[in-house]
Amino acid sequence: MIEVKELVKSFGDVTVLKGITTTFETGKTNLIIGQSGSGKTVLLKSLLGIHKPDSGKILYDGRAYWDLNEDEKRDLRTEIGMVFQGSALFDSMTVAQNVAFPLRMFSTKTQGEIKDRVDQVLQRVNLIDAHKKMPSEISGGMQKRVAIARAIVNNPKYLFCDEPNSGLDPKTSTVIDNLIQEITKEYNITTVINTHDMNSVMEIGEKIVFLKEGVLAWEGTKKEIFKTDNEAIVDFVYSSNLFKKVRKAQRREDKDADAEL
């Protein structure tokens, strides 16, 4: 679990995060959404320890990151996995070498143990025969799966994903969403996803944090989005005519179900 308490972050005279308080739950896919400039990327980078807050606390299972000494911070960072926007694979390394990189950097595993672990995670993301391929030789969806494999190879407690569906077609995006959710459940990870993809919100939004102009304007689940009358979240999520129709149909279905009771 990651707890955020009264988090404030400014750059110069501009306050980007204005007293954010929320919880990212273990074993669930926690999504951060909001318009460009809402503060969601700054929040993600603050959670990762890239931005030091002006005030407030970020607690990783009770551990306040900025109160730790350097050794404790390093140990905590080894518990974090990251899926970058665009995958961020090393072009000069094979798929297997990319996945093995965190183990070589942050573990004391032997060469044989590293190979076994790489085999395990590549099998988990359905890339059994891709070990020797270069990133340029595989599709965008496969690159995302390699990025996920690399992110979980060290058995992280916390998984962060920055726009994991960026550049993918809708079908492949759904595959990636489902894979992230499955891994979150299997390994009981605290997963935080920064996204603008409303399909992801509707598919895997077990906990949704909506930011508007640096303020936490709404939080809830994908089911609660259909029922909320919060104008800010409704305007953001249902900006397209398609999603407006989906919401209308869902609310009608819920109303009919309540009437039967």
Q: What is the pLDDT of residues 63-75, one digit of tens each?
A: 999 999 999 999 9
Model confidence at 196, in pLDDT bands (50, 70, 90)? confident
- Tell me which DSSP letter residue 136 carries: G
Cβ–Cβ < 8 Å for 1, 61: yes
- Tell me which DSSP letter residue 128 carries: T
pTM: 0.88
CB burial readout 109-133, b (16+ within 10 A) else e? eeeeebeebbeebbebbebeebbee
String of DSSP letters for 214-231:
TEEEEEE-HHHHHH---H
- Classified as helix, coil or strand, 70 is helix
Domains and CATH numbers, the chain: 2-79+156-223 (3.40.50.300), 93-155 (no CATH)
Name the amino acid, one letter, at 207: K
Chain centroid, CA 207 distance in Å: 11
Q: What is the spatial distance between Cα 236 and Cα 151, in angstroms, rounded to a whole number? A: 30
Q: What is the spatial distance between Cα 251 and Cα 256, in angstroms, rounded to a whole number? A: 9
Computed on alpha carbons and rounded to an integer, the radius of gyration of the chain in Å comes to 19
Check whether 258 has a pLDDT greater than 70. Answer: no
Model confidence at 250, in pLDDT bands (50, 70, 90)? low
Name the amino acid, one letter, at 177: D
Check whether 246 has a pLDDT greater than 80. Answer: no
pLDDT in tens, 108-139: 889 999 999 999 999 999 998 899 999 999 99
Segment 218-229 shows an average pLDDT of 88
Least confident of 5-19, 43-57, 163-177: 163-177
Q: What is the spatial distance between Cα 108 and Cα 89, in angstroms, rounded to a whole number? A: 22
